[in-house]
Structure 1
Amino acid sequence: MNIQDVANKLVEYCRNNQEEKAYQELYSPEITSVEMSEPMKEVNGMDGIKKKGEWWQENFEVHGNTYSDPIVADNHFAVKIWMDTTHKPSGQRSQMSELAVYQVKDGKIWREQFFYDVDQ
């Protein structure tokens, strides 16, 4: 798959709530995932991705989300993500948008980084 194919497929899977399929098919075993803040600021490998996903499920209820079409440049692509979530421990509902930037190497996503506002 070329980078445009990888980008399109990832967005398709995310729009259909098939993230697990995306991880299995599109992600490198050496994946690095970077967030703006703790507790999952940086995780490595598929085990790290799995733990990050479990943490997310334990802490957030997702009421809705949207994914933009990907924008591709060389070996990178970006997707704007909008989410409506409730933080389970506090009960606080909020909406946010973030920019997800992915780097592809040898046809697989091997780095993802998420950019969003964090409370100061």
Structure 2
Amino acid sequence: MTTQEIADKLVSYCRNGQEAKAYEELYSPNITSVEMQEPMKEVHGFEGIQKKGQWWEENFEVHGTKVSEPLVADNHFTVRFWMDTTHKPSGYRSQMNELAVYQVKDGKIWREQFFYDVEA
């Protein structure tokens, strides 16, 4: 698959709540995922992605999301996510924009990094 095909499939899966399918089909077993802050600042492999997903589900209720079209440049692409969430432990509801940058290697996503405002 080309980078454009991978990007298009990822966007489609995210828009349809099929992130697990995206991980199975599009991600390298050697994936590195990087966030702006702890507790999941950097995770590796499918096990790390799974733990990150569990942490997210335990801590956030998602009320709505929007996913942009991908922008592709060589073996990289970016997608903008908008989310309306409630932090379960505090009950604080907020909306956020997140820019995700993905790197493709050997036909799979092998690195993803997320950029967003971090409240002090």
Query: TM-score, structure 2 length as denominator?
Result: 0.99
Residue ranges of structure 2 left out of the alignment (5+ in a row): none
Structure 1 letter corresponding to 2:60? F
Report how far residue 38 of structure 1 moved. Answer: 0.4
Counterpart Cα distance in 2 of 1:112 and 1:54: 18
Where do 1:42-57 residues align within 5 Å?
42-57=42-57
Where do 1:102-113 residues align within 5 Å?
102-113=102-113
Report how far residue 58 of structure 1 moved. Answer: 0.1
Query: What RMSD in Å do the two structures reach over aligned CA positions?
Result: 0.4
Structure 1 letter corresponding to 2:15? R
Structure 1 letter corresponding to 2:13? Y
- C-alpha offsets along residues 37-90 of structure 1, whole Å, 9 cap, x if unaligned? 000000000000000000000000000000000000010000000000000000
Report how far residue 119 of structure 1 moved. Answer: 1.4
Structure 1 letter corresponding to 2:115? F
| Partner of residue 83, structure 2 | 83
Residue ranges of structure 1 left out of the alignment (5+ in a row): none
Structure 1 letter corresponding to 2:34? V
Q: Which consecutive segments of 4 or more residues in structure 1 shift more than 2 A?
A: none
| Partner of residue 26, structure 1 | 26
Equivalent pairs, count: 120
Query: TM-score, structure 1 length as denominator?
Result: 0.99
Kindly, what percent of the aligned residue pairs are identical?
A: 76
